[in-house]
Structure 1
Amino acid sequence: MSVTSIPRKPQQVKPKKSAFREWLDSVLFAVIAATLIRWLFFSAFVIPTSSMENSLLVGDYLFVSRLHYGTTTPVTPLQMPLTHQMIWGTKIPSYLDWIQLPQYRLPGFADVKRGDVVVFNLPVEHPNAYNKYSSVLPDLHPHPLDLRSNYIKRCVAIAGDKLEVRGGQVYVNGAAQKNPVRMQSEYFVSTSTPVNEQNVFRKNGITDFSQFTETFNDTIASNDQSGYIIKTTSAIAEKLKGFDFVKRIEPIYSSKGLKEPFLFPKTDLMYWNKDNYGPIMVPKEGLTIPMSPLNIALYGEIIRNYDGNDNVEIKEGEILQNGKVLTDYTFHQDYYFMMGDNRHNSADSRYWGFVPKDHIVGKAVFVWMSLDPDPVSFVNKIRWDRIFRIIE
């Protein structure tokens, strides 16, 4: 019996990728991996302003954990990877808002607690709110929820808390809260002679200072002929008392009953300022409130803009939904009250209101790099003592 051999099919040799194709594949893989890591696990942020000094300094680079509170699904899917609002180095938007998806939060292993340093999307970049708050934050622009500007502040009150600030001290549910270790306040330093600002102030980490002017005569004794207004921590203020040319140091607080412009809420029903604020109840999911004039001033924007309601308008001191006047309201999600650690130089919840839970991005964990924007010399550009510092 004869056996006929079956001819073997010639093996095809895959063409070798060009160097450009291999480079393109590597870049694509890196972008996808970085996008997934940035969305699911942690993101890198840099501190651009002094609102959190002396806890966080301008030029600190942070890692922010999205795992703590649970990462959120994208609301605006049509956006360029690894961008936020604008294409790098341009004013060109990096997203299209043609598609808006519902947001969901994946499980986390912690809830936002009092004292946490939190990164969140700025609520007042809502299309119905940004014009109203342009006097407090001049460069506001409307953006979708997940692409609003990233802010970092300390949570001082959580949903359901009753918050009050008395003489600069934060009280929650009637109890004085522990101040952050490196919290800054404003002080008047009375001196017997002009000082060397570089050796006295900058050497002690004080970058925000100015000479005494008549503007402060309502809080500073008129017999003080020479002095400075500084923003610093209580520990450094105590240290300055040891200099022989320093006559006295005292904190500067706004008087109770003095109404400060631009505070939240914008109403004549309350006479509050940054040092004497509240009492105010932080909204909590399931909490029902009556629609009094005071509650409309405090919570009207939440009901209209952030609580998932349609066809809500505020008209002639009343809140209407679908043309019907609301006599009471039950909140649909939790909210938080945020303040900067630089208590006299921070545009925070005292000026623009509550932070909704769906705007929470993550918890600031540690500083991985710190660059001084105004170093004494090039050698001092890197703040070595701040690298890998845990954020308290």
Structure 2
Amino acid sequence: MNYKFWKKKDSTTPKKKKTKGREWVDAIVFAVVAATIIRVFFIEAYTIPTGSMERSLLVGDFLFVSKVNYGARIPMTPVAFPFAHHTMPITGTKAYWDGVQWNYRRLPGLSDIKRNDVVVFNFPEGDTVALQAQDRNYYELVRSLGWSAVNSQFTVTSRPVDKRENYIKRCIGIAGDVISMKNGLVSVNGKPEMLKPTGQITYAVKFKSADVNFAVFTDMGFDIQSDITALSDANTYEFTGTAEMLEQVRKLNYVESVKENTAPGTYQDLAVFPHDKNRIWNVDNFGPITIPKKGLTVQLDSVNMPLYERTIRIYEGNKLEKSGNDWLINGQKATSYTFKMNYYWMMGDNRHNSLDSRYWGFVPEDHVVGKALFIWMSFNDHGSFFSKIRWNRLLRGIH
């Protein structure tokens, strides 16, 4: 008979102590994992880079964006470098590997997106990018220069949904709403929606004479360098500000008139969605447009297709072809289409300085990142470090 003898481990034997280097590595790994989980599923910091939401949000505002309110989106491109969005900061190479792609899924949220929510989302037309001109919309470049010129002059790449640029705008319309705009005033389902008190637009201000003390406008909240521009008409200037600010201007005894500087309804701007030469639309006059809703069915005809072609083909992933007078969806003749997702219409509060849904159309639900909650820090460009801080904006909620 064979016997095995097991030596009992001495409980008094001291454990091998971790080296300082190992302790640092463990701490860093834990911090990165914890921060990534918080960033993906709970809350994320975001910076305002442009003036498209002024005066609601200012360039230099730092926000916290909640992933919980609308439900956290499960990463669609799971293999990525932590804390880098789509490009590595030093090398300029891709910060993700798109060899693994997961279908769109979202955890349950506290609420649905509501009208007038300030929302962060991935840029819908960011699926294709000209790397040497990333500040320009690829599709706008193609419309102005032509496909061959853009693809020969630039390095063109594609990006998955969750690696497209982050934008922040106000939700003007939700799925199923009918949106239109006339003389700069938005209507939702036939009801006019006034611009929020913190939103701004441009006005033509005519003075009675050339003798004007512009310093007085600083006290009203205008930046003389950026908010006031001379126009070709004598003693006439373009002012960018809120309705309340312009009402103060209107009361000055040396002001002759104040008029909203909106495009006429007869002016056609083909840069405006859906870039259809049969529609005489511009940034101040367009619609009506029905925002796609999950389960909504539309007819595939010459009226609807300019509005919904990209949605059907790109956002919902169908092969869409024109065959004579017919449309083929995934090789099958179709006379109608039923949407699979909800969509939204987003616009900036700085109405005449915002690239928004008026230029690129609908925002699909799978592009939604989260809801802007509050400003935790804000800097301007002037003075020393502490004087640059906009103290009155710290911890301010976003409405």
Same fold (TM over 0.5): yes
Which aligned pairs between 1:196-345 and structure 2 lie closer than 5 A?
Answer: 200-201=217-218, 204-206=221-223, 208-214=226-232, 224-309=233-318, 311-314=319-322, 319-345=327-353
Q: Which residue of 2 aligns with 1:91?
A: 92
Match of 1:131 among 114, 131, 138: 138
2 CA distance for matches of 1:97 and 1:8?
51
2 CA distance for matches of 1:132 and 1:338?
19
Residue 147 to residue 8, structure 1, CA distance change in 2 (3 Å): closer
**Number of aligned residue pairs:** 376
Q: Secondary structure at the match of 1:132?
A: helix
Match of 1:184 among 186, 200, 203: 200
Query: Which deviations, in whole Å up to 9, do the C-alpha atoms of 1:48-107 show, x marking residues without a partner?
Result: 000000000000000111111101111111100111001234422111111111121100
Give the letter for the 1:37 counterpart: I
Residue 15 to residue 65, structure 1, CA distance change in 2 (3 Å): same
Which aligned pairs between 1:74-89 and structure 2 lie closer than 5 A?
Answer: 74-89=75-90
Structure 1: which 5+ residue stretches go unaligned? 1-5, 215-223
In the TM superposition, residue 194 of structure 1 has moved relative to its aligned partner by 5.7
In the TM superposition, residue 312 of structure 1 has moved relative to its aligned partner by 2.5
Contact 1:296-1:317 at 8 Å conserved across structures? no
Give the letter for the 2:282 counterpart: N
Contact 2:273-2:360 at 8 Å conserved across structures? yes
Contact 1:153-1:338 at 8 Å conserved across structures? yes
Does 1:157 pair with 2:173? Answer: yes
Query: Which deviations, in whole Å up to 9, do the C-alpha atoms of 1:296-354 show, x marking residues without a partner?
Result: 10000000001133x33356775322333321111111100010000111100000010
Q: Secondary structure at the match of 2:303?
A: helix
Q: Secondary structure at the match of 1:293?
A: coil
Q: Which moved more, 1:119-128 or 1:64-73?
A: 119-128
Match of 2:392 among 382, 385, 391: 385
Q: Which residue of 2 aligns with 1:3?
A: none
How big is the alpha-carbon RMSD for the aligned residues of Structure 1 and Structure 2? 2.6
Give the letter for the 1:76 counterpart: T
TM-score by length of structure 1 reads 0.89
Residue 39 to residue 268, structure 1, CA distance change in 2 (3 Å): same
In the TM superposition, residue 279 of structure 1 has moved relative to its aligned partner by 0.6
Match of 2:382 among 365, 371, 375: 375
Query: Which deviations, in whole Å up to 9, do the C-alpha atoms of 1:143-190 show, x marking residues without a partner?
Result: 111111100000101111111111111111111124212010001122
Regions of 4+ moved over 4 Å: 6-9, 135-141, 194-199, 314-318, 376-379
Q: Secondary structure at the match of 1:225?
A: coil
Q: Which residue of 1 aligns with 2:134?
A: none
In the TM superposition, residue 13 of structure 1 has moved relative to its aligned partner by 2.2
Match of 2:364 among 343, 348, 356: 356
Q: Secondary structure at the match of 1:204?
A: coil
